[in-house]
Structure formats: structure tokens, C-alpha cells
Chains A and B, each alone.
Chain A
Amino acid sequence: MDQVLGYRRANGSFGVRNYIAVIPSVFCANHTAKMVASQVQGTIAFPHPDGCGQHGKDLQQTINTLAGIGRNPNFGAVLVVGLGCERIHADELASLIAETQKPVKYLNIQAQGGTLKAIEAGVRIVRDFAFQLSQQHREPFPVSKLILGLKCGGTDATSGIASNPALGLAVDQLIAQGGTAFLSELAELLGTEHIMERRSATPEVYQRIKEELTHCEDVLERMTKDYVRTSEQAALVTPGNFEGGVSSVSEKALGGIHKSGSSPFVGVLDYAEQPKNTGLFLMAAAGGDSDIATSLVAGGAQIIAFTTGRGTPTGFPGVPVLKITGNSKTYHNMEDDLDFNAGEIIDGTLTLEQAGKNLYQEILAIASGKPTKAEITGHDELFAIGRYECY
């Protein structure tokens, strides 16, 4: 079995990076969390606008997401910072993360006596974490412990021909080795139901996929019924998609689904839900690039493979986002942001099979520590918690 090098966690998972996460349980703690993280190397704050004034399933989705980020094995230790009176209690969030047996602590700004005292207490906690993590070294682990999140953004018509099929071959190889991958982007699967049906491992899996897609389309209809800003165009397709030769949602979806390869879907996960077994999953997340990337990471993805035809520079804090384009012109235009050129398939200088193999090796290299272009440049804008039923 193929192996890569990563950081062993107490619960048997492996991180491909070794950062400390400082997670505010509520937006009121954002500034304190950012100040704490800025004082200790290798520490990342996750400021967000949520955590209070939320209810029911929407509140639960935010809790699941914040807990999922903390549980992701790329983070070796976690500090949760709360205010003290918010809906999501810091101690509750910390105990959800502590189920992974990684070092987790929490503090509340009100209990500490205000911002400055909370920052000092937080810095001391995180500094101790940094000493602990510094003692860890990368060790070999099987790719069956890898979870790869699949994403596309800035799609053009090369995506469906080159980058997504190449990524699909790499995913097939990962799944054949016992690994795990998450396909997502519900709204961009409209028109692929018959393919999903063929590829569902059981009728129950397809039933759930069908329900998710129907629900997604119903919500879209409700939200856009009286809103005809772009009535000449289909929703869900951006001006850049159209300019790049994609003419409809179905065409975008049929090109997009290629990135999941040809393995069967073994299950469907909620937004930010972590799988209990391995294989290819559909994650029921939708929205923009950031909402979906955040769900993938909260679900446990240590790496995101991101295809783009038009070229996008974005990254996720603490998680490598590997950029793959099927458009050689875009690759050469934005080489500082893009990691892999599958456009050579279209140019005729690389076969699809070879591109798939090369891409798989690139994913393994990045898992073992090779930085992505987005990591080198410092891109971190993909963290954003998706709100319930926001497609």
C-alpha cells in the first residue's frame, strides 16, 4: 500500500500538517482569538461571524463545523475561546473536540476578567501546545488514512475535459488503496441524477442523494422565484463559466462529476459530518467555494484538490489546497497560484492516464509536506461556515 509522511494523532488519525487551532465559539471572541494566535508561531485563528442568535438546525450546523475544524487531524492541539454568555458554550465545544484525545483547552473572556487577561492566559496555553507539538516528527502512514476533499471553482469548459477527469483518475487510485474522498457542491450536481443512481453503492444511498438534490432545487426555486436579475441565464453558472464555454448547469455538473472518478458512492454525509468508514462519499454541502471547503475540512479532509479553469488563488488555513487547471493558458498566466497543469491533455503533450498518475503522486507529495502554491503565498480565505439551507 502507498504511504505518506504525517503526524500521528492519539485517536489513530494522521495530520499532514501540524498546526495549533484557536477557535472562537462566538464572534465576540474573534479579536481575542486572533491576538492569541498572532503571538505564537504555527498557530491559526478561525474568526467567524456566528455562534449566537442562531437556532435549531442552523445552530447545530455551526457547532458541528467548529467542532469538525478542531477535530481535523491537521491541528495537533486546540484552544477554544468563548465570551461566556453565548449560545455555543466554549466548554461544550472543547469537549466535542477532546473526543479525538488531542490536547484541547478553553477559556472564557468574561471569566478571565476581560480581553487583555484572556489574551495573556490564551497565549500561555498555546505556547505550551507549541512546545508539545514541536516534539512530533512526520512518520509513515498508509494512504487509507487520507481524506481528500474535492472542489472546483472558476470552472471553464476545460475543467470537464481535462482537470476533472485527471483528478477522477487520481481519486480512483486513492479509493483503490482504501482511502477516502468527499464529492460535494450539491447545486452543481443537478442534471447528474441518473449517473449518481448508477454509481450509488446501494438503493438507500441513491435515495438520500435524490432527496438532497430535490431539496436543494426546491430551496433554490423558493429563493429565486421573484428575483430575475439574470433571467436570461441559468442560476449557479457564473459569467466566467459562460465566458469559458460552459452553457448550462447540466453541462457544468456533467463536467464536474468527473472529478469523483468512477468508484461507487458508499454514503452521504451532512454538512461538516465525519465519515465512520472509508471510500467515496457525497457530502451534502452547497454554497460558495468557502462554505463547501469549510465543510470538507470539518468532515476531516486533510487535503483539498481544487480544479479551476479560469484560475483561482484561494487557500484554507492549515489545510493544503492543491490547484489543478485544465487550461494551459490559465496555468502559464497564474503559475504563482496553480500547482498542476492538466491542460497538457488538451495540448496533446500528456495522456489523460499519465496526468492522473502524476496528479496522484503530487497529492501524496503534498500530503508528505510539500507546500502548495496557496500555502506559500499565504492564502487562507476559504474558511467560512455555511448556514443551514444556504445553497
Chain B
Amino acid sequence: MSEETNYRTEVTPIWCPGCGNFALLIALTRRVLPNLGIPGHQALIVSGIGCSSRIPAYVDSYGFNSLHGRAVVIAQGAKLANPELTVVAIGGDGDFFSIGAGHLPHAVRRNVNITCIMVNNFVYALTKGQTSPTSPYLQRGEGPFLSRQFYPPVDPVLDMVSYSVSTRASLIAQGIATDVSNLAWLIEEAVKHRGFSFVNVLTPCVTFDPPWLFKTIKERASYLNEGEPVGLPDSSAEQPWLHDSSNITLALKLAQTPVMEKPHIGMIFRGKEL
């Protein structure tokens, strides 16, 4: 595809075959940038450290593979100094929800017009399988969850979507790496949205997550369609409501659904633009 050659560098990704990061790379280089007509030189991708943070080297735009957890601050600095740029911060769950978690609420309240894409693979993969803040938590006695771990995660999961809703990011979306079209659409909307956008991408780690983790997410996933009933977990006694992405209270209810029970794919919240 000619669009891809326009936006891909010659560098071969280091990712494992089947990695969800390829979906993001395809979404960016074949859909988002060409669809929005953004020339490479007018885009800046800033990343942190981790598997997904290798992405700047693969996209033919301006890029900066920076420090663990700091992509979102560098991205804001660039956008403030050159508002003409389309600035995207990309990192993993370790970046945005562990080492760099302190930056996120401030990025939200500062509401600089950038897009923050968190590639959530539920694990520290580049360092070979350690627990991340989003690693699913099981009660004591339920046994190790992740394939390479002798010890299960001991602390409850930090839920990124719930967090971004509660701090009221200007736009909040959740995509899934197995649906590139939908993911690309969400990122396009996020980039077009004038304000701080947070896109969480549910991504399997084909190497360090147990295969059934992502199988479960996929099976239980439910797409959000404007004006249509939302999916709720089987355990929920609540009557499904009609999805309205402009309603922060409903977004909070969606966000409070545990991701392992009912992952909502789509536009969770879209607030007023700058």
C-alpha cells in the first residue's frame, strides 16, 4: 500500500510476531496519518521506554524515543512551543501508569491539545515478564496468573480508564489491537479532538501474557455505539442504558466496570473542545 511506504521508515520492528503493537503501527501509518492528511514533518511522536515505545523509529515523522514514563511531558512541551504540530505521546502501562503516573493528572488538567496512546499489554514485556500496575490481580490462593511468573500480582489493578475518566480527560477512548479499523478511527477522533485525549489500547502480549488472558478480553469485549444499549457484565443487575459519550457520569459508570469482566471498546467520553 502506497500510504504505508509514505509513513513507514525502513527500520524493522523488534516486536514479537503477533504483537499488538503492529496493529497500532498499521493504524498510525496506513490510516490515521494518511486519512487526516498530516504530512510526516507536521507530526511528532514522543514515546517512553518499553515495547510500544520503540514505535517512533518505525514511523516516518518527527519522533523521540525518550525516557521511561516521560513521553507525556516532552510531548506537551513540544506542542506548547509549536502548536502547529500534531503531537502524539505513546507508551505502555508501565510508562503511563507506573513510573510516569504522576504526570497524567497534570496533563489532563492542563488540557494541552495532544493525544496520549497507552498501549496496555498488562505486563512489563521488554524486561521479560514482570508485573505491571495493570496486571490482573487475583485473590490469594487463585494461583499465578501470568505465564512466566512464580508470584501473582499482589496489589489491585490500577484501572487506567477509570482513572482518566475520574480526572476528566477531554477525550477518553478504549481500543483493542485485534480491531485495527476501530482503533484507527478512535485515534483519528482523538487527534482531531482539540484537547487532551487519552486512548487506551488493549493489547495482548503474545510472549508474556497467558493466551487465555486476551481470549477472555476479546470474548467479553463489547462495542460502544452512540445511542445504543451498553453491554454490562453478566453479574450486573443493572438495566443497560443508551450510550451517550458526552455524559461524564455514564462514562464513569462504564469505566468502573472491571476490564476483565466487560471491556468497553469505543468512545467512552468526548468532552467540550478547546
A and B associate in one complex: no
Seen from chain A, the residues whose Cβ lies within 8 Å of a Cβ on chain B are none
